[in-house]
Amino acid sequence: MKNFEIPTYYKSSFISTIKELRKINDLRKKDFTPTILDFGSVQFLIARHFGFCYGVENAIEKAYKAIEENPKRNIYLLSQMIHNPTVNDDLRKKGVRFIMDTKGNQIVNWSELTNEDIIIIPAFGTTLEIEDKIKSIGLSTKEYNTTCPFVEKVWKESDKLGANNFTTIIHGKHNHEETRATFSHSNSSGPSLIIKDINEAKILEDIILGKINKEEFNVVFKDRYSKDIDIIKHLDKIGVVNQTTMLATETQEIADFLKKTMIKKHGLENYKNHFSDTRDTLCYATNDNQQATIGLLKESADLAIVVGGYNSSNTSHIVELCEGKLPTFFINSALEIENNEIINHFDYHNKRKTTSTNYLPKNKDVTRIVLTSGASCPDIIVDEVLDRILEFYPNTTPKEKVLSDLN
């Protein structure tokens, strides 16, 4: 796999070394057991896979290359490069201006841009409509296009579905940049519909089987389907793709369910003419991180700390997995940890910050903490969180010794 040139201040001599050791000892990525860092009175359970993925490192490399190669030109980013505040704030400090927020609201008017400027397409990609707008200004969308290759793979699959008269069902969050981009691309090839979960897949089954009419469909899926979709004609042949940061297991559950729906309607001998198997579009990095989290949770622990941007979809799904087993605290940096009694964290269910007390167990010989992060979180931030927690445990084993014990 390619080694990307990313700023050294995003790397960690400790966490990055642990990840490299695991990679060397598990080249085929078959071992999802965690790394256990034993500091004596506290142990950290580190996931086999976490942090920057291929698509994120590719985006960061290209963004910083744009800054380096164009010192005297205005540089614009369509929206957040990735969903991590540290990375986005650093780009702003280096003079990069963001044209839109994550919801697509305009921050910089298009009239301010000229054909002498540089524009960066973020890792999530963008819509065909915005691409056309950029080209109309006379700007290129190719030189610093950081769209994740796995997102582009989903677009190619949706193009194929449309070309074969299948409707694309997109498993995703309709207001997420990536899903908006995927819908735009798939909609240009054929009818498309966004669904958020298995419950909506069950509603979709009732529509496919004729139990729900067009009016009810319009209410449930408002603003999430192609303008001229015909629920009788266009939902007779479907294929499922996903927002790459969604839980792969949920996407597969939805696909398996809708496959059975087509078997109900058309019979086992005919369903392949009505349902397209698209499982190879699932992002391997997202899937690896999720499988590593599942492997992590097979070990006993007292709590979990998940680090990442609060608007990061893939991080929220890791939080969701951890919450199923442990008290879980979703933080974006070590600054959220006030002391050994108080931690500020994010309640992603209600989309708000909250504070918890007594989050660390008392009177235990050894406290065990799950520590992991989302795909857009730099290793150095995870390292800083680990260091902050270690401050509350006196006489712990030095990090150098813990690291040498892993070799």
Q: How is domain 150-282 classified at the CATH fold level? A: Cobalt-precorrin-4 Transmethylase; domain 1 (3.40.1010)
Tens of pLDDT, residue by residue over 175-231, are 999 999 999 999 999 999 999 999 999 999 999 999 999 999 999 999 999 999 999
Tens of pLDDT, residue by residue over 337-350, are 999 999 999 999 99
Q: How is domain 54-137 classified at the CATH fold level? A: Rossmann fold (3.40.50)
Alpha helices in 138-274 (DSSP H): 149-163, 177-189, 198-208, 214-220, 248-266
Burial class from Cβ neighbours inside 10 Å (0-12, 13-18, 19+) for residue 163 reads exposed
Tens of pLDDT, residue by residue over 62-96, are 999 999 999 999 999 999 998 999 999 999 999 99
This prediction has a pTM of 0.90
- The mean pLDDT value for 98-120 works out to 96
**Calpha distance 307→52 (Å, rounded):** 12
Tens of pLDDT, residue by residue over 123-173, are 999 999 999 999 999 999 899 999 999 999 999 999 999 999 999 999 999
Task: Choose the CATH number for 8-53+285-406 among 3.40.50.300, 3.40.1010.20, 1.10.30.50, 3.30.465.10.
Answer: 3.40.1010.20
Q: Would you state the pLDDT for residue 3?
A: 81
Q: Would you state the pLDDT for residue 27?
A: 83
75 forms bridges with which residues in the sheet?
A: 118
Rounded (5°) CA angle 195-347-257? 25
**Calpha distance 79→310 (Å, rounded):** 16
- Positions annotated as catalytic residues are 178
Q: Is there a shared CATH topology between the 8-53+285-406 domain and the 54-137 domain? A: no
**DSSP-derived secondary structure letter, 282:** S
Q: Are 147 and 121 in contact (CB under 8 A)?
A: yes
- Per-residue pLDDT for 299 more than 90? yes
Q: Would you state the pLDDT for residue 60?
A: 96
Q: Would you state the pLDDT for residue 249?
A: 86
- The mean pLDDT value for 55-60 works out to 94
- Per-residue pLDDT for 287 more than 90? no
Q: Count Cα neighbours of 371 within 13 Å in the Cβ-side half-sphere.
A: 28
Q: Would you state the pLDDT for residue 224?
A: 97
Query: Where are the chain's structural domains?
Result: 8-53+285-406, 54-137, 150-282
- Per-residue pLDDT for 15 more than 80? yes
- Per-residue pLDDT for 360 more than 80? yes
Q: Would you state the pLDDT for residue 283?
A: 80
- Per-residue pLDDT for 1 more than 70? no
- The mean pLDDT value for 26-48 works out to 93
- The mean pLDDT value for 103-132 works out to 96
Kindly write down the DSSP assignment for every residue of 314-361, as one continuous string. Answer: HHHHHHHHHHTTS-EEEESSGGGB-SSSEEEEEETTTTEEEEEES-SP
**Calpha distance 19→174 (Å, rounded):** 33
Least confident range from 23-32, 37-46, 266-275, 323-332: namely 23-32
User: In the chain, what is the greatest distance between 2 CA atoms, to the nearest angstrom?
Assistant: 69
